[in-house]
């Protein structure tokens, strides 16, 4: 099996994502009419992370995936056939990879990851729409 396929199966799109961090792993409504609401909630949930990366002058990117949960503990607690949104932060592949210290500081700052409930963030997004 090629290295690229192994990385994909480990949910690493390419080798540079090995130092990625799962930020959101939350069940969502599978109705396409709600997609914009989910994306607005994700945007609100990512604000603290974006602010932290910008303050630390870190080069990062987010990857969003719809499908099965990427966190085994989350999958066990929800069970069944539920659509999930998974959002990963990773070092920008065109610049330097994050160091172990970078990841440690990030995980100390945001220790309750992944976010498993987008409800409050979606409510905030809907209030912003009014």
Strands (E), 1-130: 21-27, 60-67, 84-91
Question: Would you list the domain boundaries of the chain?
Answer: 18-116
Cα–Cα distance between 123 and 44 in angstroms, integer? 10
Q: Please tell me the predicted confidence (pLDDT) of residue 42.
A: 96
In the prediction, which pLDDT does 86 show?
A: 94
In tens digits, the chain (130 residues) has pLDDT values of: 555 555 455 554 444 445 688 999 999 988 888 889 999 999 999 999 999 888 877 788 899 999 889 888 888 888 767 889 999 998 776 676 777 777 788 888 998 899 999 999 999 988 877 6
What's the order of all strands across the beta sheet hosting 84-91?
A: 21-27, 84-91, 60-67
SS3 at position 71: coil
Q: What is the pLDDT of residue 115?
A: 95
Q: Is there a contact between 90 and 43 (Cβ–Cβ < 8 Å)?
A: no
């Amino acid at each position: 099996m090629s290295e690229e396929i192994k990385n994909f199966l480990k949910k690493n799109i390419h080798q540079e994502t090995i130092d990625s961090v799962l930020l959101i792993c939350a069940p969502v409504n599978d109705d396409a009419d709600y997609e914009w609401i989910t994306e607005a909630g994700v945007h609100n949930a990512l604000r603290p992370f974006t602010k932290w990366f910008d303050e630390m002058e870190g080069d990062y990117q987010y990857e969003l995936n719809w499908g099965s949960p990427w966190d085994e503990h989350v999958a066990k607690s929800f069970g069944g056939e539920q659509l999930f949104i998974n959002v990963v932060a990773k070092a920008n592949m065109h610049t330097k990879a994050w160091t172990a210290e970078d990841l440690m500081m990030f995980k100390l700052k945001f220790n309750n990851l992944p976010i498993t409930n987008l409800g409050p963030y979606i409510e905030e997004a809907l209030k912003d729409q009014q």
